[in-house]
């Protein structure tokens, strides 16, 4: 599994890394928290790339990451 991450787009890797940290919250709250975190700390072009990737290859996203990505404009 670790062998494949290099080919993943960084934005997907990063949001997936964030998403796995929220197993203790219920799904909607977690998705909101993740989206807020990304708004706080991600530069706009990364967010744009993320939303683009969300639409292009949603299967690469962890489910919770995808839910959070959908909350981003």
Cβ atoms 18, 38 nearer than 8 A: yes
Q: Does 41 bind other proteins (CB under 8 A)?
A: yes
18 is a site residue for other proteins (CB under 8 A): yes
Minimal distance, residue 17 CB to other proteins, in Å? 4
Secondary structure (H, E, C), 18-61: HHCCCCCCCHHHHHHHHHHHHHHHCCHHHHHHHHHHHHHCHHHC
**Of the candidates 12, 26, 31, 44, which one interacts with other proteins according to CB under 8 A?**
44
Stretch that binds other proteins, among 4-12, 52-60, 64-72 (CB under 8 A): 4-12
């Amino acid at each position: 599994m670790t062998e494949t991450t290099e080919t993943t787009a960084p934005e997907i890797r990063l949001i997936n890394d964030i998403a796995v940290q929220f197993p203790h919250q219920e799904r909607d709250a977690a998705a909101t928290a993740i989206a807020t975190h990304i708004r706080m700390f991600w530069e706009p072009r990364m967010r744009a790339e993320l939303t683009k990737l969300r639409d292009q290859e949603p299967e690469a996203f962890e489910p919770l990451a995808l839910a959070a990505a959908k909350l981003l404009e």
